[in-house]
Amino acid sequence: MTGPTGNSGALSHLRVLDMSRVLAGPWAGQILADLGAEVIKIERPGNGDDTRAWGPPYLRDAQGQETTEAAYYLAANRGKKSVALDIASAPGQELVRSLALHCDVLIENYKAGDLARYQLGYDTLRQLNAGLIYCSITGFGQSGPMREVAGYDFAIQATGGLMSITGERDDLPGGGPQKVGVAVADLATGLYATIAILAALAHRDRTGEGQYIDMALLDVQVAMIANMNMNYLVSGKVPGRQGNAHANVVPYQVFTAADGQLVLAIGNDGQFAKFCELAGSALAREPRFQKNADRVRNREQLIPLLRDVLRHKTVAQWVGLLQPIGVPVAPINDLAQVFEHPQVLDRGMKIELPHPLAGTVPLVANPIKFSATPVRYERAPPTLGQHTREVLQGLGVDEEQFRQLQAKGVV
């Protein structure tokens, strides 16, 4: 099998075998593809990645008819080649082993120990390819009493403490735990997995040695609670939900203006003084509000006073007044407003790629901006099995062998 060809991205010398599905693993695979790696996605014949069925909405063709491509699937699989392969069959397992022999990285998110049953675990594959970076992503990791429990983002947000600090306070209308609006445990695990893979590749560059990476959604969820973790560990006090307010900074929350809502995110005393001066308020001169620590302690007295100040101007007026003087303020945009925002447009965060079923597909760009190896977008999220014949031909599978594999349901 020949090496990766095509773009000159930072990782264009690498080949990745993506055996993951849904979000955390595919997100990591998509990032690597954006950076230039050749990413081969293994999917179940007939069904494919679970998220292919997670619709509507589905991508529509030029006539406005729904295609088979769910928006959720499209979000995490740009730049990959899809190979439909039954890894429960002996021929399918042998083909995966052949692919792994020619890959630098393997990403999988099967339950702990599942791939080892098919002789596709790390201990087997490293005998074939000593330089292989093998990244396993599970809900709870490869060790511990919950290693065999399936992990879902919603459950991880609950188990890992995020929902205990997300949502309105229990004493307010609508109070109670809330999940974040996107699957942040999955997404953050995909990011951490990408970092781990790149670090393992750097180690291999020096030593020639591959390695095994054990990523758990719960570990990542616990780690990413960040300052709230430390608030608890330092004080011994379990933090609760504060809605859109900040535990350590005041004022830092949503306020209602004359015509809608805005975010005021004042991060230091100088910004608070600027805000008060522009707003014609003497609050910054009051000892109980001068320092952030004072404002945190006296939050319940300050916030009603600020609400009264902010309700007299529109969102646009406050943004126009405060942004130029360096006071953090922002409107609360919906996604239509986001993709029409002049800054988002200028940064090229919406792209389109040719698609075999729909003509084109709209996608969200990678946020990384390189000076020497820019991200290139050369391949839309693949249809199921779109590249099966191409990839297997690279392994030496001829047309007759391919037809035999089709007849057996292997591909």
- Which residue is catalytic, options 86, 104, 153, 186? 186
CA distance 280 to 261: 20
Query: What's at 329, amino acid-wise?
Result: V
Q: To 10 degrees, the CA torsion angle through 352, 353, 359, 363? A: -50
Residue closest to 133 by CA, chosen among 15, 13, 238, 244: 15
Q: Are 244 and 332 in contact (CB under 8 A)?
A: no
Tell me the two tokens of residue 405: 């594999």
Give 3-state DSSP helix, strand, coil % of the chain, rounded to 5. 40, 15, 45
Q: Report the distance separating Cα 31 and Cα 284, nearest Å.
A: 45
Q: Which of 177, 139, 149, 159 shows the shortest CA–CA distance to 23?
A: 139
Structural contact between residues 86 and 44, judged by C-beta atoms closer than 8 angstroms: yes
Residue 18 a catalytic site member = no
- Nearest Cα neighbor of 5 from 116, 96, 81 is 81
Which residues carry out catalysis? 186
